[in-house]
Amino acid sequence: MELDYSLIGKRISRRRKELGLKQSTVEEKAGIGYKYLSGIERAISIPSTEVIMRLAIALDTTPDEFLVGAVKHEEDEEKWREAAELLRGMNEKQLDMARSFLLWLSEQKS
């Protein structure tokens, strides 16, 4: 599965605008650098899995909304938050391994 970062950026931008938030506000809530969100929304910067999770939390949604355009139900929200917390505690090597596993998992048939 190839990720379309242009589409991901557009989805993030759309959600941010739906909530009436400025880029700087979302960057602060997500704990990401100044102007980084602008780059992501324009597909100039490629966000890591952790950044996608942080943005989902900051924009009160799930990573699915950004990655595949689908929103999970509220009962799944706690699972997403738990996953985000696990990712936050990982070092760079662990995050790379988690990303590889998630990519592999997304390619598997249900």
Instruction: Name the helix (H) or strand (E) containing 108.
Output: none
Q: Global pTM?
A: 0.65
CA angle 3, 72, 10 (to 5 degrees): 40
We find that the CATH architecture of domain 5-107 is Orthogonal Bundle (1.10)
Model confidence at 109, in pLDDT bands (50, 70, 90)? low
50-98 tens-digit pLDDT: 999 999 999 988 888 898 877 655 566 677 778 878 888 888 899 888 8
Question: Which amino acid makes up residue 4?
Answer: D
The answer to whether 32 and 51 have CB atoms below 8 angstroms apart is yes
In 19-108, alpha helices (H): 23-30, 36-41, 49-58, 63-67, 74-88, 92-107
Query: What is the model's pLDDT at position 72?
Result: 54
pLDDT at position 26:
97
Give CA–CA dist 16/23, Å, rounded.
Answer: 8
Task: Identify whether the C-beta of residue 98 lies closer than 8 Å to the C-beta of residue 50.
Answer: no
Q: Where are the domains positioned within the chain? A: 5-107
